[in-house]
Amino acid sequence: MLRISPVQAMSQALAAGVMFYQYRSKTGDRKSVYETSLRLASLARDAGATFIVNDHADLAQAVDADGVHLGQDDLPIEQARKVLGPGKVIGISTHSLAQAREAEQQGADYIGFGPMFPTATKDAGVTQGLETLRIIRRSIGIPIIAIGGITHTTVTEVVRAGADGVAVISALLSAPDIQQSSEDMLRIMRKSGGHS
């Protein structure tokens, strides 16, 4: 699906005003993930944006990223905190109210929650939907980043259901113009009360 490099994609997203960027590579070897993360961390730093490495707390530390995003099968939050130190951001993917509450209790700075809608980007499990998002919003105090099948037409209802922000892959990377698509998504989110 990726027509351009992660650096090009990030550059266009940053130019549109995206201020939180997560790098996820499920196929690259650790050296290539490190090298790409190093370039992306520098780019984000220059733009004043937050840069998060997916899965690998040690790589996030090595490139001086702003933090790491963990999956349920990755390093526990407590151990990731030992690797990264107290000043870094730790997020974790959650797929239920119980996981969201546990993430907050264990010290996560934010949760990713989803999938909101069916998605072809990754096998993220059972679709959670807007009502579950509303319940989680009432149950935890940390930010929620909704993920999974979110598009320009569904982002408003996701934000109104309680998401502080959204993680979007296909809706942006498959667009003919990533920067324009990012700008459009941000404009819709801001009208809905969300963050970038």
Helices and strands (H, E) in the chain, number of each type: 9, 7
Q: Write the DSSP assignment of 25-90 as a string of letters.
A: -SSS-HHHHHHHHHHHHHHHHHHT-EEEEES-HHHHHHTT-SEEEE-TTSS-HHHHHHHH-TTSEE
What are phi and psi for residue 21, nearest 5 degrees?
-130, 130
Which residue among 11, 24, 137, 170 is the active-site one? 24
Q: Which residues contact 66 (CB under 8 A, 6 or more apart)?
A: 44, 50, 51, 52, 88, 89
Nearest alpha-carbon partner for 121 in 96, 151, 143, 99: 151
Which residue among 37, 93, 181, 182 is the active-site one? 93
31 belongs to the catalytic site: no
24 belongs to the catalytic site: yes
Which residue among 122, 134, 190, 191 is the active-site one? 122
Q: Report the 10 Å Cβ neighbour count for 120.
A: 9
Dist CA 154 CA 36 (whole Å): 31
Beta-bridge mates of residue 22: 52
Dist CA 23 CA 51 (whole Å): 8
122 belongs to the catalytic site: yes
* Residues labelled catalytic: 24, 93, 122
